[in-house]
Amino acid sequence: MIDYATARENMIESQVRPNGITDARVIEAMSEIPREVFVPDDIKSLAYMDEDVPLRVGSDGRKRHLMEPMAFARLLQAAVIQPHECVLDVGCAAGYSSAVLARLAQLVVAVEEDAELAEAANQNLLRLQINNVAVFNSAMHEGHQAEAPYDVIVINGRVGQIPDGLLSQLADGGRLVAVVGETETAQALVYTKARDVTAPRYVCDASIPRLPGFEKADPGFVF
C-alpha cells in the first residue's frame, strides 16, 4: 500500500524545493493537492515520480501527460499568481493543474479539448470539493474569450508558438507562462503584457511533452 501523503512530501523536498522553488504559496498548494487522484488507477504509483506521467492517448493518437512537478512549479512561481486574480488554465487534462491553481487564485477557467479528460477533470475537482474552477471542453489554442481578460494564463505542455489570440486574452499587467520550442529541450518563458505590448522573459530550460494544437506554422517556401 502506497503512502501517498509521504510520497507527496518527498516530492516537495526532493523535486520542488531543491530546484529553486521558494514561493511558499506554490509549495503549500502542491503539498495540499493529492496528485494521485488525477492519474489513472493502473499507474497511480507513478503519480509522484520526477517525470511527466502519461495520462491518455486520444482517438486521434495524441498523447497527453501530467507535467513533471519541477517544471510545473517553476512555471507557477514565474507567474507570481495573486489571491485575487483570475487564471486561464490551458490543457488542464484530468484537472491537477486547475486544482493547484485554485489554491493560488480567486477563479480558474480551464480549457481541455479531449472530452474524456474534461469530464475526468470535472469529476476530480468535484471529488475534492474545489468549487472555484470552471472547465470547458473546447479547443485549447483558442483559450476562452468569454471570460477574458485573464491576469494569468498557464499552458500545460510544450508548444511551438503562442497564438496571438491567447496573448490578446491577457489583462494589462497579465502574465502567460509556457514552455516554448520545437525541440525536446525548450525554454520556459513568462510573457508580460503592458499597454498592449507583450514581451517574453526567459525562466529556465525545460523538457516536457508537446501539447497538441500549438504546432508552429510552416512558413512554406521562401524565394
Pairing of strands 86-90, 150-159: parallel
CA distances from 8 to 17, 36, 128 (A): 13, 9, 16
Q: Which residues have a Cβ under 8 Å from the Cβ of 89 and sit 6 or more positions away?
A: 97, 98, 101, 108, 109, 110, 111, 133, 154, 156
Which three cell numbers mark 107? Answer: 477563479
Question: CB-based burial of residue 216 (10 Å sphere; 0-12 exposed, 13-18 middle, 19+ buried)?
Answer: exposed
How far, in Å, CA of 79 to CA of 152, rounded? 7
Question: CB-based burial of residue 16 (10 Å sphere; 0-12 exposed, 13-18 middle, 19+ buried)?
Answer: buried
Closest residue by Cα to residue 122 from 92, 145, 146: 92
Pairing of strands 107-111, 86-90: parallel
**Class of 4-206 per CATH?**
alpha beta
Per-residue pLDDT of the chain (223 residues; tens, 9 = 90+): 789 999 999 999 999 999 999 999 999 999 999 999 999 999 999 999 999 999 988 767 778 999 999 999 999 999 999 999 999 999 999 999 999 999 999 999 999 999 999 999 999 999 999 999 999 999 999 999 999 999 999 999 999 999 999 999 999 999 999 999 999 899 999 999 998 899 999 999 999 999 988 876 544 444 4
Which three cell numbers mark 151? Answer: 491576469
Decide if 185 contacts 163 (C-beta within 8 A): no
